[in-house]
Structure 1
Amino acid sequence: MYDKILVPMALNHDISPETLAAAKALCKPSGEIIALHVYESPHSMAKAALGEKLLQQGFETAKDLLREKTASHPEVKPVIVTGHSYRTIVEYAADNDIGCIVMASHKPDLSDYLLGSTAARVVRHASCSVLVYRA
């Protein structure tokens, strides 16, 4: 059983009941489950065109949406960080003593075999255990 479990989530989906159930099963009674959303900021050209104020509004909107999507799960701590998806998940886990990452993955297609999905990259690079739930 783990003290800290990270459940990465995309805001275009709700928190997966299956990954949440797996996280609960793996978490110590006194442990912590963290729902992490990685907010990918636009590339530098888009940043310049949009402006800092609009970018900050986008981040605040994403933070509110994450809170809304996790509100019915008081046992889950919502966290949002800026960065690149898989790299930020791996770094967050290492920096915060995460014992296990529980994440969902879609069925791979040809591009995933050539480029690698976020889940595949997390599995390859994480220094902790990773459980991947495939629907």
Structure 2
Amino acid sequence: MTEQTKPPFAATHILVPVDMRHREVSRLAVESAVYLAGLSGAKVSILTVTNPLGTHLTEMPEARKPDFEAFVAEQADRLGHAITPLFESHEAVNETIQKVIKQHGVDFVVMATHHPRLSDHLFGSHASQTALHANCSVLIVRGE
């Protein structure tokens, strides 16, 4: 890599936390991460966090895992880059993202966000919480 094409950061592992309810915006974050990984030679992981109780009392979180893994495989095929799926079940999404950053040696996070709702002004979005508390750089992309 020449000095002109060398990225200004040394990312080795890029994490993309996604909300499977917002796939289109998540695709933008994945595309951005894969682009950056191509420049830096980093590996890419996609994380989703499900509620341990599921969306209904009769649904276990593992029921969502095949759909998530299919999404990751689709993105890897579409973008021509290896992507590791990370499926977690926890009530606190922000805590889980921080835990995964530490456990997996993540040094760069790319995540999508939406236009703020009232609750985001009060509590902050997952993206803003990640940017505030992560011990690595965070790139936030806004979808339409």
Bin of the TM-score, shorter chain as denominator length: 0.7 to 0.9
Structure number with the higher strand fraction is: 1
1:134 maps onto 2:136 in alignment: no
TM-score by length of 2: 0.76
Q: Which runs of 5+ in 1 are unaligned?
A: 44-49
Deviation per residue, 1:9-44 (Å, 9 max, x gap): 112232633212221222233x2110101122139x
SS of match in other structure, 1:71:
helix
**Greater alpha carbon shift after TM alignment, 110-119 vs 125-134:** 110-119
TM-score by length of 1: 0.81
What does residue 4 of structure 2 align with? Answer: none
Q: Which runs of 5+ in 2 are unaligned?
A: 1-9, 77-81
The CA RMSD over aligned residues, in Å, is: 2.1
Distance 1:132 1:76 in 2: 19
Following TM superposition, the consecutive aligned residue runs of length 4 or more in structure 1 with deviations greater than 3 angstroms are none
Count of aligned positions: 124
Alignment of 1:26-37 (within 5 A): 26-27=36-37, 28-29=40-41, 31-37=42-48
1:90 maps onto 2:120 in alignment: no
Distance 1:99 1:12 in 2: 26
* Counterpart amino acid of residue 63 in structure 2: T
Distance 1:5 1:121 in 2: 17
